[in-house]
A and B are shown apart, each in its own frame.
Chain A
Amino acid sequence: DAGVIQSPRHEVTEMGQEVTLRCKPISGHDYLFWYRQTMMRGLELLIYFNNNVPIDDSGMPEDRFSAKMPNASFSTLKIQPSEPRDSAVYFCASSGLGLETQYFGPGTRLLVL
């Protein structure tokens, strides 16, 4: 298996623009997680899905952030409008039965100017 795939790997955008991050989980995994990592706040869980259904989005910072999982092999995290404080590395991870190991994608490094 190719592992968790994320795109783009790097994104530079201007404040106010819409940003869409994409993730393809490992085939057969039922859980998908979106994380944000910064030096100041460490690793934060934003939202997770089970069988394509959002289970807990309490970590989503504000209404500018939204996430979808239209099918078992694809998820998006959208920021609209983006702000400089959104600059971070965004990771997607997937796991089999929820309590199994989470496998992380390579991350998307986002810079909002």
Chain B
Amino acid sequence: ELKVEQNPLFLSMQEGKNYTIYCNYSTTSDRLYWYRQDPGKSLESLFVLLSNGAVKQEGRLMASLDTKARLSTLHITAAVHDLSATYFCAVDSNYQLIWGAGTKLIIKP
């Protein structure tokens, strides 16, 4: 059974700091997805990582994938308050997505 673990589950940080969210998964998969969810809102796609070594960046967020280590990271650079949200990673398994529990990120001024 494919399992997806995120850590930390909760992160409170100051604006301007850097931090990384980790996503580990238990079996082979070549596709990993990152989503963002604001409180009371839907899920918004951030990144799709399709191969080993893939790196994608959007603004202050950068995601990478290491399929050999079964690890993806979401790095936040010089955090700003607008990035406060819950971030989910998900891994594909036979056309389904297996979801992590989410990382609730709070960025304080």
* B-binding residues in A (CB < 8 A): 31, 33, 42-43, 45, 48, 50, 55-56, 91, 93, 98-107
Which B residues touch A56, using CB under 8 A?
96
Are A55 and B42 interface neighbours, CB within 8 A?
Answer: no
**CB-contact partner of B45 in A42, A50, A101, A106, under 8 A:** A101
B83 CB–A CB distance under 8 Å: no
* Contact A91:B42 (CB < 8 A) given known A42-B102, A101-B48: yes
Are A99 and B43 interface neighbours, CB within 8 A?
Answer: no
Chain B residue, CB-CB nearest to A107: B42
Q: How far is the CB of A93 from the nearest CB of chain B, in Å?
A: 8
Which A residues touch B96, using CB under 8 A?
33, 45, 48, 56
Can you sample 20 A-B contacts with CB below 8 Å?
A31-B95, A33-B96, A33-B97, A42-B102, A43-B43, A45-B97, A48-B95, A56-B96, A91-B42, A91-B43, A98-B95, A99-B31, A99-B95, A100-B48, A101-B33, A102-B45, A102-B97, A103-B45, A106-B41, A107-B42
Q: How far is the CB of A53 from the nearest CB of chain B, in Å?
A: 12
Counted as pairs of residues, one from A and one from B, with CB atoms less than 8 Å apart, the total is 39
Contact with A along B56-99 (1 / 0, CB 8 A): 00000000000000000000000000000000100010011101
Sorting the interface of chain B by its residue count into under 10, 10 to 19, 20 to 34 or 35 or more gives: 10 to 19
Chain B residue, CB-CB nearest to A48: B96
* Secondary structure call for the A interface: strand
